[in-house]
């Protein structure tokens, strides 16, 4: 269940993110494959070695961040270079405790507001498309709403099923070249540009740490498990850096998958719940081997269909990020400004809105905090 929910609820976001920064169909399929393999093998390895339900996942907030970016100067190779640097930064965070403490100094409200602003533009997509394609998009949105009322966990998989049904009715499957859907990896030699480092690598690293790794550690500890933090960050960072030339943007400790595979639903005996993480990892590997078929289906779908799936998939994350950003009255002004700047899509000096939202939000938070103390 963890593998099915984890993959189907966010693969459309990952594809949208990779395509937004310059990946073509083969690059995106390769990225989906390498992400699935590295996080799947990581789940299997940690389960067998630690006998704990440690689960890894791709960075869904990171993919959402990419989806609102433009192709960086230097194109897709520059984006790949940014992914490599993100992996190096994640690895160093595991090795150097002062670096992790520095990340923790970023106000939670500001980090959540930046994520909420990034997600907002993506969550609006299905509703903007609805008047143009009321039946196709309406089926996706309606399925998501209906299943949310019954079991929120399965809402996005239901939206995926609805999209597949729409494709069947539309006759889209006839356009899929099934003979070319065998799994394959595509190499891209990384290139370096300061715009990609500032606009992609830095925000991707920060959103992966603050929205995935730190909550993932907290979730595991709340369920009674100690996480081998340095080893987990070391693996996820190294796997990210090595997988980047094949199109992977970032993997990390998972919070949602951890709640499933380490919680009571995985069995009454906590000492045996590592089996859930093991089977989750095997499921991710199996899904990864179908990456080319997934990309082919997305390419054959009616325009905007899978963008709508990505939009509804992120609604829950948007609500959670907004709630966390605005939870404390003392930080609401800084968080509100951060959210607006991130959602604006403004680009200055070739650097996107996510970076400027962090700069403005952290500055305003520091100024208002100092003023209140005064």
Spatial distance between the Cα atoms of 324 and 118, rounded to a whole number of angstroms: 15
Domain ranges of the chain: 2-373
pLDDT of amino acid 179: 76
pLDDT of amino acid 287: 93
Instruction: Report yes or no: 241 and 82 within 8 Å, Cβ to Cβ.
Output: no
Instruction: Report yes or no: 326 and 196 within 8 Å, Cβ to Cβ.
Output: no
Instruction: Report yes or no: 60 and 10 within 8 Å, Cβ to Cβ.
Output: yes
pLDDT of amino acid 373: 65
Residue 348 CA neighbour count, 13 Å, CB half: 10
pLDDT of amino acid 374: 61
Q: Classify the C-alpha dihedral 204-218-43-8 as positive or negative.
A: negative
For residue 211, what are its two tokens? 């929205």
Query: What single-letter DSSP state applies at residue 348?
Result: B
Q: How many CB atoms lie within 10 A of CB 220?
A: 24
Please give the average pLDDT of every successive group of 10 residues along the chain, which has 374 residues.
85 93 94 96 95 92 90 93 96 85 81 88 90 92 94 88 92 83 92 90 91 85 85 94 96 82 83 92 94 89 88 88 88 91 82 85 87 66
């Amino acid at each position: 269940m963890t593998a099915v929910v984890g993959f189907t609820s966010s693969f459309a976001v990952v594809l949208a993110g990779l395509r937004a920064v310059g990946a073509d169909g083969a690059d995106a399929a390769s990225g989906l494959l390498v992400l699935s393999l590295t996080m799947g093998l990581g789940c299997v390895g940690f389960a067998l070695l630690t006998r704990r339900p440690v689960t890894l996942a791709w960075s869904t907030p990171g993919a959402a961040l990419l989806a609102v970016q433009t192709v960086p100067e230097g194109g897709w190779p520059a984006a790949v270079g940014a992914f490599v640097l993100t992996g190096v930064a994640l690895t160093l965070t595991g090795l150097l405790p002062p670096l992790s403490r520095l990340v923790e100094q970023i106000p939670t409200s500001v980090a959540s507001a930046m994520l909420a602003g990034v997600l907002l533009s993506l969550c609006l997509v299905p509703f903007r498309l609805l008047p143009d394609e009321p039946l196709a998009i309406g089926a996706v949105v309606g399925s998501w709403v209906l299943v949310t009322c019954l079991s929120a966990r399965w809402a996005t998989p239901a939206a995926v099923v609805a999209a597949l049904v729409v494709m069947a009715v539309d006759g889209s499957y006839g356009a899929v070249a099934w003979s070319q859907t065998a799994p394959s990896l595509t190499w891209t030699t990384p290139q370096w540009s300061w715009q990609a480092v500032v606009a992609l690598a830095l925000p991707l690293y920060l959103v992966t740490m603050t929205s995935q790794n730190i909550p993932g550690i907290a979730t595991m500890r709340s369920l009674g498990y100690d996480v081998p933090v340095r080893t987990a960050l070391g693996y996820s960072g190294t796997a990210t850096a090595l997988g980047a030339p094949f199109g992977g943007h970032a993997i990390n400790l998972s919070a949602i998958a951890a709640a499933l595979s380490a919680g009571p639903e995985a069995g009454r005996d906590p000492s045996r719940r590592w089996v859930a993480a093991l089977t989750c990892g095997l499921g991710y590997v199996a899904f990864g081997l179908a990456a080319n078929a997934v990309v082919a289906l997305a390419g054959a779908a009616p325009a905007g269909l899978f963008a709508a799936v990505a939009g509804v998939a992120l609604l829950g994350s948007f609500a959670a990020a907004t709630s966390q950003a605005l939870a404390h009255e003392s930080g609401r002004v800084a968080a509100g400004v951060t959210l607006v700047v991130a959602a604006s899509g403004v680009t200055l000096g070739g650097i996107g809105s996510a970076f400027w939202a962090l700069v403005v939000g952290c500055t305003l938070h520091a100024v208002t905090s100092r003023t209140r103390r005064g």
